[in-house]
Amino acid sequence: MARQLFELCGADPARLFSPYCWRTRMALAHKGLEHETLPWRFTEKDRIAFAGSDKVPVLVDGDRVVADSWAIAEYLEDTYPDAPSLFGGAGGRALCRFLGHWTDSVVQAGIVGFVVADIATHLGPEDHAYFIASREKRFGKPLAEVVAGREERVAEFRRALYPLRTTLKERPFLGGPAPTYADYTVFGAFQWARCVSNFTLLEPDDVVHAWRARMLDLFGGMAREVPAQEAA
Amino acid sequence: MARQLFELCGADPARLFSPYCWRTRMALAHKGLEHETLPWRFTEKDRIAFAGSDKVPVLVDGDRVVADSWAIAEYLEDTYPDAPSLFGGAGGRALCRFLGHWTDSVVQAGIVGFVVADIATHLGPEDHAYFIASREKRFGKPLAEVVAGREERVAEFRRALYPLRTTLKERPFLGGPAPTYADYTVFGAFQWARCVSNFTLLEPDDVVHAWRARMLDLFGGMAREVPAQEAA
């Protein structure tokens, strides 16, 4: 039975844009594990109910079903110990959780305020209606108002990347000389933006910009191949 | 030759308050390595010039001299590999750097705006003059103005601890079931505040508050023993 991954997509099934699914896509490639993508849309919750989840990624690996990107990362590390390590030991595994929470609260929380309206433009009619309603409820205002002033606000976002930037001045990847799951975690946020928006998040002379390019080059340029809005 | 550590102190040589020295103190205790404290003050730069540094911590370990808390941590891990690991593997070592830069830019950058004026009250005359002049130059205003409004600003500081708080809801320490150098890095910031100020940084029901108490309990309550302003 082929390894399958339910991944969020837009109206175009090739536009895979979930930051959490990208964490998993990169982790599978890191481990050298092939998978078949099962394109999934926001309103297809019934298709993943068997996994006890209403969100993707959901991995089906033979007779194992694993939902949630972090649970999948731990599953892959523990199930395929002879493949390259995602964490580089117990200490790295523990700190990858901190990186995940930092990414959620700083990187993704920043980016959503720039690109949430752009996301809607890539969705089919049913998902579009769901997305607009659920996000306007979450933000308490129209999405056009959420993203208003993004050209001014992006400077504060860039400043908040200080720990990432300073670490990347010292080494090519967060994980050291080679990427680990920490890199995939943060990269997922940038790849999410890249797939849905042409808003410029990073200045070209930022070491984070150069790191993102290195991440796009990994695994034969896998992340470059998805439809993207190139300026991000 | 005994292992010696130059550590920043106030007028009272027992008031060891540098966040970076606390990273090293905890790392030495983690490794089970005893050391003699050489109390050092801001204006005694000539005493550590032999180490090629004008800042502490400076470790003298037999014929080895190591300055800079991160360099010391790596030195200890590599020199005493049979003692408990500070990093828990290569992945943890790499991510500890990110934790250090996050601590510098979020935790310590926040705390200094609350306690910098309190620090001055613990210094002898010569250090006091140096500290006031150098910090007022750095901030561009009197220290009383730097800390003004701290009761209101602390809410934003607490919100910025989200990645730390969320990680600690999942496990007792950043490093997992037991502390690693990541914990010592962040703890150093809180211990710095505790030694110089009674300003309340954390609410009592915050999991970060409980984690700080666990950190204070480590190594026979080593960090509790220094003179402190208890409310922090």
Q: From residue B65, give the alpha-carbon distance in Å to each of B9, B32, B51.
A: 20, 19, 6
Residue of A nearest to B102 (CA): A163
pLDDT in tens, B38-76: 999 999 999 999 999 999 999 999 999 999 999 999 999
Q: Is B211 on the interface with A (CB under 8 A)?
A: no
> Closest approach of chain B CAs to the CA of A186, in angstroms?
12
Q: Is B48 on the interface with A (CB under 8 A)?
A: no
- CATH code of residue B42: 3.40.30.10
Last-in-domain residue among B51, B79, B107: B79
Sign, Cα dihedral of A147, A20, B179, A173:
negative
Give the range of the structural domain holding residue A40, as residue numbers without chain letter: 4-79
Are residues A95 and B174, on separate chains, in Cβ contact within 8 Å?
A: yes
Q: Is there a domain that residue B149 lies in?
A: yes
Which residue of B90, B162, B174 is in closest CB contact with A89?
B90
Q: Give the H or E element holding residue B213.
A: helix B207-221
> Closest approach of chain B CAs to the CA of A165, in angstroms?
9
Q: What is the pLDDT of residue B230?
A: 58
Whether residue B65 is found in the same domain as residue B117: no
What's the average model confidence in pLDDT over B160-186? 98
Q: Is B167 on the interface with A (CB under 8 A)?
A: yes
Q: What is the pLDDT of residue A1?
A: 58
Dist. CA B175–CA A89, nearest whole Å: 11
Q: Is there a domain that residue B85 lies in?
A: no
B176: helix, strand or coil? strand
pLDDT in tens, A13-30: 999 999 999 999 999 999
Whether residue A19 is found in the same domain as residue A70: yes
Q: Is A92 on the interface with B (CB under 8 A)?
A: yes
Q: What is the pLDDT of residue A230?
A: 58
Comparing B16-30, B92-106, B120-134, B215-229, the range with the smallest average pLDDT is B215-229
Q: Is there a domain that residue A209 lies in?
A: yes
- CATH code of residue A94: 1.20.1050.10
Q: Is there a domain that residue B97 lies in?
A: yes
Residue B227 has pLDDT above 90, yes or no: no
Which residues does chain B have within 8 Å of residue A92's beta carbon, measured at their own beta carbons? Answer: 88-92, 94-95
Whether residue A31 is found in the same domain as residue A146: no
pLDDT in tens, B205-226: 999 999 999 999 999 999 999 8
Are residues B99 and A96, on separate chains, in Cβ contact within 8 Å?
A: no
Which residue of A89, A105, A163 is in closest CB contact with B98?
A163
User: B110 and B102 in contact (C-beta within 8 Å)?
Assistant: no
Last-in-domain residue among B79, B114, B134: B79
Q: What is the pLDDT of residue A231?
A: 52
User: B30 and B184 in contact (C-beta within 8 Å)?
Assistant: yes
Whether residue B59 is found in the same domain as residue B103: no
Whether residue A74 is found in the same domain as residue A155: no
Whether residue B73 is found in the same domain as residue B94: no
Q: Tokens representing B20?
A: 């970076």
Q: What is the pLDDT of residue B2?
A: 82
Q: Is B116 on the interface with A (CB under 8 A)?
A: no
| Omega before A57 within 30 of 0, i.e. cis | yes
Are residues A99 and B101, on separate chains, in Cβ contact within 8 Å?
A: no
Which residue in the block uniquely carries the two structure tokens 């007792």? B172
User: B143 and B120 in contact (C-beta within 8 Å)?
Assistant: yes
> Closest approach of chain B CAs to the CA of A167, in angstroms?
6
Q: Which residues contact B122 (CB under 8 A, 6 or more apart)?
A: B10, B11, B12, B15, B17, B195, B196
Q: How many domains does chain A have?
A: 2
Q: Is B87 on the interface with A (CB under 8 A)?
A: yes
Chain A interface, best mutation among B68, B77, B98, B101, by max A CB count within 10 A:
B98
Whether residue A137 is found in the same domain as residue A212: yes
Output phi, psi for B36, to 5 deg.
Answer: -100, 130
Are residues B92 and A97, on separate chains, in Cβ contact within 8 Å?
A: no
Residue B1 has pLDDT above 70, yes or no: no
Which residue of A95, A101, A171 is in closest CB contact with B92?
A95
Whether residue B141 is found in the same domain as residue B220: yes
Whether residue A25 is found in the same domain as residue A115: no
Q: What is the pLDDT of residue B75?
A: 98
Dist. CA B117–CA A213, nearest whole Å: 44
Instruction: Check residue A68 and give left, alpha or beta (phi > 0: left; psi -120 to 50: alpha).
Output: left
Whether residue B100 is found in the same domain as residue B138: yes
User: A14 and A24 in contact (C-beta within 8 Å)?
Assistant: no
Q: Is there a domain that residue B61 lies in?
A: yes
Whether residue A121 is found in the same domain as residue A202: yes
Q: Is there a domain that residue A118 lies in?
A: yes
Q: Is there a domain that residue A85 lies in?
A: no
Chain A interface, best mutation among B95, B105, B159, by max A CB count within 10 A:
B95
**pLDDT truncated to tens, each residue of chain A (232 aa)?**
589 999 999 999 999 999 999 999 999 999 999 999 999 999 999 999 999 999 999 999 999 999 999 999 999 999 999 999 999 999 999 999 999 999 999 999 999 999 999 999 999 999 999 999 999 999 999 999 999 999 999 999 999 999 999 999 999 999 999 999 999 999 999 999 999 999 999 999 999 999 999 999 999 999 999 887 755 4
Whether residue A61 is found in the same domain as residue A34: yes
B35: helix, strand or coil? coil
Last-in-domain residue among B34, B58, B79: B79
Q: What is the pLDDT of residue A232?
A: 47
Q: Is there a domain that residue A231 lies in?
A: no
Q: Is A109 on the interface with B (CB under 8 A)?
A: no
Q: Give burial (CB, 10 Å; 0-12/13-18/19+) of B85.
A: buried
Percent of chain B with pLDDT over 70: 98
Residue of A nearest to B103 (CA): A163
